[in-house]
Amino acid sequence: MASKKIIRAAAAQIKPVFFSGLSTTEKVCDTIRTAREQGADIIVFPETFVPYYPYFSFIMPPVWQGKEHLRLYEESVVVPGPLTDMVGQTARECGMVVVLGVNERDHGSLYNTQLVYDTTGEIVLKRRKITPTYHERMVWGQGDGSGLRAVDTSIARIGALACWEHYNPLARYALMADHEQIHCSQFPGSLVGQIFGDQMEVTIRHHALESGCFVINATGWLDDEQVSTLTTDLKLQKSLRGGCMTAIISPEGSHLCEPLTQGEGIIYADLDMALIAKRKRMMDSVGHYARPELLSLHLNREHQHVVAVREAAVEEEKCADL
């Protein structure tokens, strides 16, 4: 991990290209290049941005979702695969850390997955949302604890959570205890209305204060034409607007630039890493302010598998008997 004192951060609030994983990935790569032209060292994209967040699951009853769910399968991302390789190559060319949300296809299941690329283009973290929220449970499987960790990159130690995982305080504590310096949060945006954006702001500012870290938050955006593509019902269209709060927060809980709540754009801020020690000197939730003899977290970070294979051990036992 590098000891860079000032890190230039970017958060992208952009709309996907509906129904095309390739076109949305190309837009991601173009956005990375744009941010690099502005001197960014790290950029965060919205939740499951590639190919797109499953907005259909919020407005359709389950019995009608089959066609749209299968279309999402067809455009989703295999990790690693051609689309993730495109992003990795762009990250390497630009020398940037990239945090990207994708719909990951793993054989017959989809997952809400967060990818962290280092400046080398290597994926240094792949994690799956541990519990899909509400309507999302009809779309994605559950992740495990293997991704509840912070990872070292060439610019800083990075942690990430998606959307309402931030309302699981133990999930947040796992990253705090792993000493994340920059927390990358991702939300879908264009849902529920401004109340969703307001709640999001409280959540990310609180995490910055409690963790003593920077938070880069990215939310997605849909324009009127995309909303009309999803539904012609005016009441349902209303539920697909608002809910955006793309923001960059300091360890002291303050906005480092004007947040973006409407339209497409990229926001930027300089992160003074000295502010982390300034905050933690007074209150380090996982250090001098912790009481592990009273309160502690038990975390299972093992990858969970549906089959426990013991063939190698059996062969070794056979050889030992000879």
State whether residue 52 is helix, strand or coil.
Answer: coil
CB contact burial 33-51 (16+ within 10 A = b; e otherwise): eebbeeebbbbbbbbbbbb
Say if strands 6-13 and 42-44 run parallel, antiparallel, or are unpaired.
parallel
Let me know: does 202 contact 170? Beta carbons within 8 Å: no
* Confidence (pLDDT) at 320: 63
Residue with tokens 């283009």: 121
Residues paired with 292 in a beta bridge: none
Q: What is the DSSP letter of 138?
A: G
Q: What is the CA radius of gyration of the chain?
A: 20
Task: Give me the DSSP letters along 139-174.
Answer: T-----GGG-S-EE-SS-EEEEEEGGGGG-HHHHHH
Looking at the annotation, which residues are catalytic? 47, 129, 163
And the tokens for 74? 């067809």
144, 145, 150, 154: CA torsion to nearest 10: -40
String of DSSP letters for 239-274: TTS----BEEE-TTS-BSS--B-SSSEEEEEEEETH
Distance CA 243, CA 191 (A): 5
Sequential DSSP letters for 62-130: GGG-HHHHHHHHHHPBPSSSHHHHHHHHHHHHHT-EEEEEEEEEETTEEEEEEEEE-TTS-EEEEEE-S
Residue 233: per-residue pLDDT: 95
Residue 175 lies in a domain: yes
Tens digit of each residue's pLDDT (9 = 90 or more) over 213-269: 999 999 999 999 999 999 999 999 999 999 999 999 999 999 999 999 999 999 999
**Mean pLDDT, the chain, as a whole number?**
95
- Please tell me the predicted confidence (pLDDT) of residue 5: 94
In a domain, 225, yes or no: yes
Find out whether 232 and 59 touch, Cβ atoms under 8 Å: no
Q: In the chain, which stretches have pLDDT less than 70?
A: 1-3, 312-322
Domain annotation covers residue 125: yes
Q: Domain tally for the chain?
A: 1
Give which of 157, 185, 181, 189 is closest to 171, Cα–Cα. Answer: 185
Residue 97 pLDDT? 98
Checking DSSP bridges between strand 214-219 and strand 182-187, what pairing results, if any?
parallel
| Residue 126, in any domain of the structure | yes
Q: Find all residues with CB under 8 Å of 318, minimum gap 6, and list them.
A: none
Residue 1 lies in a domain: no
Say if strands 247-249 and 214-219 run parallel, antiparallel, or are unpaired. antiparallel
In a domain, 296, yes or no: yes
pLDDT the model gives residue 312: 64
277 contacts: CB under 8 Å, gap ≥ 6: none
Q: What is the pLDDT of residue 4?
A: 75
Model pTM? 0.93
Q: Which residue range forms the structural domain that includes residue 278?
A: 6-321
Task: List the CATH number of the domain containing 290.
Answer: 3.60.110.10
Query: What is the predicted pLDDT for the residue at 19?
Result: 96
